[in-house]
Structure 1
């Protein structure tokens, strides 16, 4: 099942990141380049670094210059994340390109890779909620509340994993078909963002 592979790799990536717990740590992807495993690990590494950048930028007394620098870095990360999700979807499009689609096949509104994207974020939520549930410097009330939230997150992980596996199974059987729309983000494109193309020097 693809979800089992995803969850195992995402968990490894999150744990690897937290060895140093530094947004500037070098990604040491252990999987063969261009393999699905490599893409999944890289996907979660991007998410994990961005998770911590989002934490840092919320520091109440952060230097404005540093905040802007981090915001630009988050924007770049979002673009990289989107590109990688689309690349993963390309992997599935190629894998199932010869499947005979049934006449009554249905279109799924979410592509496999965007569902996997949510699974990657869920792994981060689970990891950090687990840490909060085990904090020795927090109140018992805090730990209990986080334990309850962790239980819900784990159920969400199970449900989403099942949904991803079922979606791919139905695509493989021709009961559903993939249609991937490029995100077409405009804010990073100097030809589409008015602030950028009206301020050219």
Structure 2
């Protein structure tokens, strides 16, 4: 497991989604559910669908009822994203549970899975800025600006990949360690959200 492996899966998911480019396309995850590849593909698919839902909700002609429905889908997507990241962190925690941190080992505030979350979103930015940089109907100025941003994103891709691989190496070597904190989101829980448990707005 390394950054190249993860980024390749993210790119595969993005390419697969754009075969139909439809937010209602069912996910056909090609990997076994008991593998980290399954989780990585699922995570990016969630991100990719949400990326396009965020585009749809900004349409100036969207009807109010459609807007509410899309907003609810985005809320559920955020919950699914968080749940998947936590499953990924559970996988990493199992991989490293036998590693004894060295004296003076540093706690890393960002877990491997939350770093992968950033990497997944970054692959979506790269895909869509490349699309804009190559868009025939756009002006030269538009394509030039998109290419400038794409160059920065590609640099960030390399930086995040290096950070991810170094983090895993440090955890394996006992130089850093991770803790898994559940997000404990309240707004989707009918026992914790006052609007839901009181029925008042």
TM superposition score category, shorter chain reference: over 0.9
Structure 2 matches for 1:126-141, cutoff 5 A?
A: 126-141=126-141
Aligned residue in 1 for 2:161: 161
| Structure 2 length-normalised TM | 0.98
Aligned residue in 2 for 1:118: 118
SS, match of residue 38 in structure 2: helix
Structure 2 residue 201 is matched with structure 1 residue 173: no
Aligned residue in 1 for 2:92: 92
**Structure 1 runs, 4 residues or longer, greater than 6 Å off:** none
* Count of aligned positions: 200
Structure 2 residue 182 is matched with structure 1 residue 182: yes
What is the Cα deviation at residue 100 of structure 1? 1.4
Distance in 2 (alpha carbons) for counterparts of 1:99 and 1:108: 15
Structure 2 matches for 1:6-155, cutoff 5 A?
A: 6-155=6-155
| Structure 1 length-normalised TM | 0.98
Q: Gaps spanning 5+ residues in structure 2: where? A: none
SS, match of residue 20 in structure 1: coil
What is the Cα deviation at residue 3 of structure 1? 0.3
Aligned residue in 2 for 1:196: 196
String of CA shifts for 1:74-117, please: whole Å, max 9, x gaps. 10110010000000000000000000110110001100000000
Q: Gaps spanning 5+ residues in structure 1: where? A: none
